[in-house]
Structure 1
Amino acid sequence: MNTETPSAGDLLVRIGGIVSLVGAVATLATVAPLFLGTTPLPAPAYFVCMLMGAGFALAAAGVVRTARAQRRAAEGA
């Protein structure tokens, strides 16, 4: 069991990880037909692949938010 209190950016990091994972799975599903010689997926499937970068950006924003909150707490103490 985790006894730490959740910090400011934990939720953003978790959401970013999930969104990035969805984008990674979409990327694998989109690239696989190109290697297998089957018909490629339609264009909207390629747009879902962009979630991988968006998830990374969300997670990075959560890390920055946590770091800033820790810095403010350290300065206040």
Structure 2
Amino acid sequence: MPKRIKVTEESESGRNIKFHDNFTGSDMTRSQFVTQIKNGKYENYSVKKINGLDTPVSKPDNTKNNNLG
């Protein structure tokens, strides 16, 4: 089974900035993905403040299928 979320673009500093949902086919910016996580659409992901920006992260568990990559 493919990963649910795939990072499709990174900034020059390595920050993930664009994402693709392999299950629905939708593309999202970092801020759109953050909003969807906060609205409960992606329960295996959470939002952390990193260098002052809300940043999507996968919740730590024993599954690699939900890791961002």
TM range (shorter): under 0.3
Q: What's the TM-score, normalizing by structure 2?
A: 0.20
Normalized per residue, which structure has more strand? 2
Decide which structure has the larger Cα Rg and report it.
Answer: 1
Higher relative contact order (CA 8 A, sep 6+): 1
Q: What's the TM-score, normalizing by structure 1?
A: 0.19
Normalized per residue, which structure has more helix? 1
